[in-house]
Amino acid sequence: MGFTRFSKERLLPILINRTALFLFVMSILTLFLYIAGTVQEFTDATQFALLTLYSVLGIFLTITSIAGIVLDLTRFIGAKKGRYFFRAGGYLFLVIFGAVTVMAVMAIFALSGGEGMN
């Protein structure tokens, strides 16, 4: 019928790839909400919740992307295909993005006097 489509890739690389993409998009949307909330003067509790969510998404994005780098580099070594090396480069960008995200949120918390961190 055409509904059964078997992928040549294994489940783990697909899962890591889609999870990293989902976390990246959610991080961007949360950042957009935080910026919109700053302009529209959301309450402090809402801003704190958005920053906390942004931080958690950044941590999970970093962990997922590190797993993606390890997986793609092992596949590059085994298969000698250049696409795995370039995908590992994409994951490296996401690791840097996630780490900078977490550091920026912690800096915002520190600059705000630690309010909401209790």
CA–CA gap between residue 33 and residue 44 (Å, rounded):
13
| Tokens 């949360």, located at residue | 30
| Residue 86 resides in a domain | yes
DSSP structural state of residue 19: H
Q: Identify the top-confidence range among 3-12, 42-51, 55-64.
A: 55-64
Given a contact cutoff of 8 angstroms between Cβ atoms, the answer to whether 62 and 98 are in contact is yes
Contacts 24+ apart (CB under 8 A), 75-84: 75/13
Query: CA Rg, the chain, in Å?
Result: 18
| Residue 5 resides in a domain | no
| Residue 87 resides in a domain | yes
| Residue 118 resides in a domain | no
Count of structural domains within the chain: 1
- 29 vs 47, which has greater pLDDT? 29
Copy the structure tokens of residue 70. Answer: 């390890």
Question: Residues 68-93: pLDDT tens digits?
Answer: 888 888 888 787 777 777 888 888 99
Cα 110 to the chain's mean position, in Å?
22
Structural domain of 44 = 11-111
